[in-house]
Structure 1
């Protein structure tokens, strides 16, 4: 007899429970003929690079919103400034304010206290260039491409160091190099930290996959060698 009241109570609770807010869904990339020339690792690396660059562009937009004086040094609008940086990164063109420097040298220059150019643009360009260099200088990968796990690992650590410098280093006037995370008493905004964390995690995963690929190749060889000798079925008639 208690079953009916219990069911009614549960039904009432379910009707009163708030509907979960939508959080989107996984969006897969469209299939292309180029995938025929990619291994699973190549494909994951290509998707990871695409997502890492998108993360850097989001960081650039966030930095420009918190530091509008930076984009005003090089462009007439925030959108145009972002486009210029994006075009330079994807075309592998040098960024003028970095004096021809690339990779970690560009990143280091962008984070020096006395850098007077568009620091947000220089920082994101230097970070992107460093990541691309760690991937062999490419943003799309095919069967002929390989990865150095140590270089990838180093790139992830470089991003950790860059994020720490951005949050801790001051200019000669005692001001932050760029306003980013806000950990004040009135507000707690760590969206920058989360975006950096995504980039670091993607690169670390690819480094582990690269190491695992060669390790598993050796194990598979031994398994086939042992199996071919000892794991054969015996005749029963």
Structure 2
């Protein structure tokens, strides 16, 4: 081996270390830019949210959007309903329903009924009025109630996973009732899914299924979070460790 090769061989570990250091600096700079971009894209109130709070907030947003999509589709299949609302078109009727859900306001055709009471009444043959609006309002108000009366969540908030799971089961039942309930003449109270010789339209069931899936996922994550809190406490007792105070 000549002198040049010997020198290169002896310097190779130093060169490799220098290369790794440069890569580390470059990666750190890239990570720093990524973090800075994420902060700039976020909202100030996100600093007061845990990852579970953020997921619950986004899940509620997506569930309400699915519900509003279902309302538009139901109005298309049942145009006589929005006409009973007294508003000039389906868009105006849907806007009022949306505001009532998000602001937790009562819906006049339902009186003081909310949540489950409103859901049962909206699918009753005795109901008179915009059945689509009443049905969507009932489910929306039930979702908000199951999440503690909120649509956005922060570190000071708590969500009962059992109530969220119950809401998912209620939506499954409501979906089935929607496809089955008929008036005295045997006509469906509301037309939604359709399976006929001309074709199939199961988009209502699919969208309701998305809502149920999001609720079930949130339930599992909440259960795991509270389970870990309990396990951490049990471990601290077993190991005789003091619990952190900050």
Task: Give the TM bin, normalised by the shorter chain.
Answer: 0.7 to 0.9
Report the CA distance between 1:81 and its aligned residue.
Answer: 1.1
More helix by share: 2
Tell me how far apart the structure 2 counterparts of residues 160 and 37 of structure 1 sit (CA, whole Å): 33
Instruction: After superposition, give the CA deviation of every residue in 1:142-161 in whole Å (9 maximum; x if it has no partner).
Output: 11111111111110000001
TM-score, normalized by length of structure 2? 0.78
Instruction: After superposition, give the CA deviation of every residue in 1:82-105 in whole Å (9 maximum; x if it has no partner).
Output: 111111111111000001111100
Partner of 1:72: 83
Instruction: After superposition, give the CA deviation of every residue in 1:180-234 in whole Å (9 maximum; x if it has no partner).
Output: 00111211110000000011111111111111101112333455666788xxxxx
Partner of 1:39: 50
Instruction: After superposition, give the CA deviation of every residue in 1:129-153 in whole Å (9 maximum; x if it has no partner).
Output: 0111000011111111111111111
Report the CA distance between 1:59 and its aligned residue.
Answer: 0.3
Structure 2: tracts of 5 or more residues without a match: 1-37, 242-246
Task: Say whether the 8 Å CA contact 1:114–1:172 is kept in structure 2.
Answer: no
Partner of 1:58: 69
Tell me how far apart the structure 1 counterparts of residues 58 and 134 of structure 2 sit (CA, whole Å): 24
Partner of 1:128: 140
Report the CA distance between 1:163 and its aligned residue.
Answer: 0.4
Q: CA RMSD in A?
A: 1.7
Task: Say whether the 8 Å CA contact 1:114–1:171 is kept in structure 2.
Answer: no
**Is 2:209 the counterpart of 1:197?**
yes
Partner of 1:23: none
Corresponding residue to 1:185 among 182, 194, 197: 197
Tell me how far apart the structure 2 counterparts of residues 224 and 91 of structure 1 sit (CA, whole Å): 43
**Is 2:149 the counterpart of 1:149?**
no
Report the CA distance between 1:115 and its aligned residue.
Answer: 1.2
Structure 1: tracts of 5 or more residues without a match: 1-27, 230-237
Tell me how far apart the structure 1 counterparts of residues 76 and 56 of structure 2 sit (CA, whole Å): 30
